[in-house]
Amino acid sequence: MDLEKKTIELIKSFNIDFALTLPCAKIKRLIYLAAESFTHIPLSREEEGIGIATGIHLAGKRSILMIQSGGIGNSLNALLSLAMVYHIPIPIIISWRGIYKEGIEAQIPMGKYLPAILKAAKIPFVEIHKATDVMQIEQALKTCYEKSLPTAILISPEFWEKSKFKEEEPIIKSPFPERSIYFNIGLTEAILSKPTLTRYQAIEILSGEIQDKIVISNIGIPSKELFDILDQPSNFYMLGSFGMASAIGLGVALCTEKDVFVIDGDASLLTNPNILGTISQVGDRCQNLTILLMDNGTCGSTGNQLTIAYKQVDLEFLARVYGIKNTLKADLPEEILRGLRTLPKGPRLLQIIVKPENANVKNIPYTARQIKERFQNALLFSANN
Ligand SMILES: Cc1ncc(C[n+]2csc(CCOP(=O)(O)OP(=O)(O)O)c2C)c(N)n1
């Protein structure tokens, strides 16, 4: 049996729209076929895949991840504090290395301990070894959607070894596309003056622009401040998953025509900067995405510890380097509003320089599931452009 084709057919029967992939040599053909069969989003880090898949689910569509076993190690926090807590069904096909005829010593620890890690984390999983196990993939997809939880499908190289297919498809379409790298140093002039606004004040200034809009809001105090200023069902408050705000925003933006705003933070973006490249890679599909980067140069929510953005790293430049062409810096009320109104449709990033100061605001009273369900309903029925 052609097990790769069979697997793709099984996945297709679950009406999956997107394949989010990060390669492993053992599943190169599977990924090639997935790219032909679904909207393909290549990832730079597996963890961002959990964020993007969450956004896709929130916006009513389905995605599947295809990654290597080590990628679970890279994604564990997002898996637990986002996908498990908010009950997000994400099937994850895992090329399970380190357990069968493994030639790379470094693959062994993660592969060996993976079932125990998943078990301890209560993440549902199945193990697939033999060609005869193929229907277990279907069962795993079924329970993934029934339980509404991420579900790991661990597939041993032994399984793929048994695959029989006539011709080897090219793994990369030949010839390679023309290579071009976008360089742009035409940045907004560096702001040398001291920022005058707090994050709270900046959100207040933006509140008229984001009212009735889809807003994904960063972990910690930014979400609490947004709740205090403008609570609305179309706000998705992150309770965990540090670094996933823009990834969730991208997932939602890929599935709706409506404007999607992300309130991100400098520390959060710096922990997962690769998302900027993933956004620019699919830029023509997420023109509706705006990142409002609240740059206070600190981990505001954990006590204002300085980040590398405080003095060394220009995050607008970073976004440009990653290929986001529409960017701007702003630190004054009128500049923020003008910036938002004049910055061409994106994906775009408005770097808002604010003071490292937190407002004294309450906790968000909703559970993760309440946040999710309110948001999903708002997306279906009310949030408009
Ligand atoms: C994996 C992980 N590491 C660290 C934390 C603690 N933490 C919560 S918010 C945060 C910093 C957020 O800073 P930033 O994104 O710049 O937003 P700000 O609060 O400054 O607006 C950190 C380090 C966490 N929740 N998860």
Nearest CA to ligand 1 atom 12: 299
Q: 220 C-alpha vs ligand 1 centroid, how far in Å?
A: 7
Which residues line the pocket of ligand 1, CB cutoff 6 A?
A: 77, 199, 218-222, 242, 265-268, 294, 296, 298-302
- Angle, helix 3-12 to helix 134-147, in steps of 10 degrees: 20
Q: Whose CA is nearest to atom 20 of ligand 1?
A: 300
Residue 127 confidence (pLDDT):
98
Backbone angles phi, psi at 68, to 5 degrees: -90, 160
Cα 357 to averaged position of ligand 1 atoms, centre (Å): 14
**d(Cα 347, Cα 254) in Å, to the nearest integer?**
11
Mean pLDDT by 10 residues, the chain (385 residues): 94 98 94 95 97 98 98 98 98 98 96 98 98 95 98 97 70 66 59 83 98 97 98 98 98 97 98 97 97 96 93 91 93 95 95 96 97 97 60
Q: Is 304 left (phi over 0), alpha (psi -120 to 50) or beta?
A: left
Separation CA 110–CA 95 (nearest Å)? 12
User: What is the number of the ligand 1 atom nearest to the C-alpha of 240?
Assistant: 25
* Dist. CA 284 → ligand 1 center (Å): 30
Closest atom of ligand 1 relative to the 221 alpha carbon: 19
Q: What distance in Å separates the CA atoms of residue 62 and residue 92, rounded to the nearest whole number?
A: 12
Ordered domains of the chain (ranges, CATH): 3-161 (3.40.50.970), 199-381 (3.40.50.970)
Q: Give, rounded to a whole angstrom, the gap between the first and last alpha carbons of the chain.
A: 49
- Using a 10 angstrom Cβ sphere, with 0-12 exposed, 13-18 middle and 19 or more buried, the burial of residue 181 is exposed
Nearest CA to ligand 1 atom 6: 302
Rounded to whole angstroms, the Cα distance separating 252 from 254 reads: 5
* CA-243 nearest atom, ligand 1: 15
Q: Check residue 174 and give its pLDDT.
A: 60
289: number of CA atoms within 13 Å, CB side? Answer: 32
Q: State the helix-helix crossing angle for 221-229 and 199-210, rounded to 10 degrees.
A: 50
Dihedral of CA 238/154/277/30: which sign?
negative
DSSP collapsed to 3 states, the chain: CCHHHHHHHHHHCCCCCEEEECCCHHHHHHHHHHHHHCEEEECCCHHHHHHHHHHHHHCCCCEEEEEECHHHHHHHHHHHHHHHCCCCCCEEEEECCCCCCCCCHHHHHHHHHHHHHHHHCCCCEEEECCHHHHHHHHHHHHHHHHHCCCEEEEECHHHHHCCCCCCCCCCCCCCCCCCCCCCCCCCCCCCCCCCCCEHHHHHHHHHHHHCCCEEEECCCHHHHHHHHHCCCCCEEECCCCCCCHHHHHHHHHCCCCCCEEEEEEHHHHHHCCHHHHHHHHCHHHCCCEEEEEEECCEEHHHCCEECCCCCCCCHHHHHHHCCCCEEEEECCHHHHHHHHHHCCCCCEEEEEECECCCCCCCCCCCCHHHHHHHHHHHHHHCCCC
Whole-angstrom distance, CA of residue 254 vs CA of residue 279:
10
Residue nearest to atom 25 of ligand 1 (CA): 242
Dist. CA 301 → ligand 1 center (Å): 6
Considering only CA atoms, which residue is closest to atom 2 of ligand 1? Answer: 242
Q: Which two tokens stand for residue 17?
A: 């729209």
Q: How high is the pLDDT of residue 302?
A: 93
Closest residue by CA, ligand 1 atom 23? 299
Phi, psi of 126 (to 5 degrees): -130, 155
Q: How far is the CA of 126 from the centre of ligand 1 (A)?
A: 33
Distance 303 CA to ligand 1 centre (A): 10
Look at residue 173 in the predicted model and tell me its pLDDT.
Answer: 60
Give, for ligand 1, the residue of 75, 226, 301 to mutate: max count of ligand atoms closer than 8 Å to Cβ.
301
Phi and psi at 11, nearest 5°, equal -65, -45
Burial, 116: exposed, middle or buried (Cβ in 10 Å; 0-12, 13-18, 19+)? exposed
What is the best residue among 302, 307, 352, 361 to mutate for testing ligand 1's pocket, by most ligand atoms within 8 Å of CB? 302
Token pair, residue 163, equals 């695959």
Q: Using CA positions, which residue lies closest to atom 1 of ligand 1?
A: 242
Residue 326 near residue 276 (C-beta atoms within 8 A) = no
**What pTM value is reported for the model?**
0.93
